[in-house]
Amino acid sequence: MSIKRIEPGKRMSGAVVHGNTVYLAGQVGEGTSVTEQSKSALAEVDRLLALAGSDKSKILQTIIYISDMSTFGEMNAVWEGWIDPANPPARATSEAALATPDYKVEFIVTAAI
């Protein structure tokens, strides 16, 4: 079974396709608020899934890290407006320190093709 790397870089690929599954690198967004960063990151998820031949209706699992659990509701408001309501994925959310203090939310997505 072949492996396809999408937007490979020095440290990681934006996404990796193996068989009928696509694994996205953690996606962080631009902006100062959790809302802005969530919208930006999920737009990037849409873009990478499209490059892999998939879309959000085929997401199997999402792991979400937020830097402050008090922003859980703010992130969920964006998430609930973005996901395909007929096909919600399995999901976990945890509070974690992210790569830089500017990052407030990160989405790690696995999807079918």
Every domain of the chain and the residues it spans: 1-110
Q: Dump pLDDT digits (tens) for 26-71.
A: 999 999 999 999 999 999 999 999 999 999 999 999 999 999 999 9
Q: Dump pLDDT digits (tens) for 76-90.
A: 999 999 999 999 999
Q: Which residues in 11-102 belong to E strands, given as ranges? A: 13-18, 21-24, 59-66, 90-95
- Rounded to 5°, the CA angle 31-37-38 comes to 160
Q: Which residues in 29-89 belong to E strands, given as ranges? A: 59-66
Q: What is the percentage of the chain residues whose pLDDT exceeds 70?
A: 100
CATH topology of domain 1-110: 60s Ribosomal Protein L30; Chain: A; (3.30.1330)
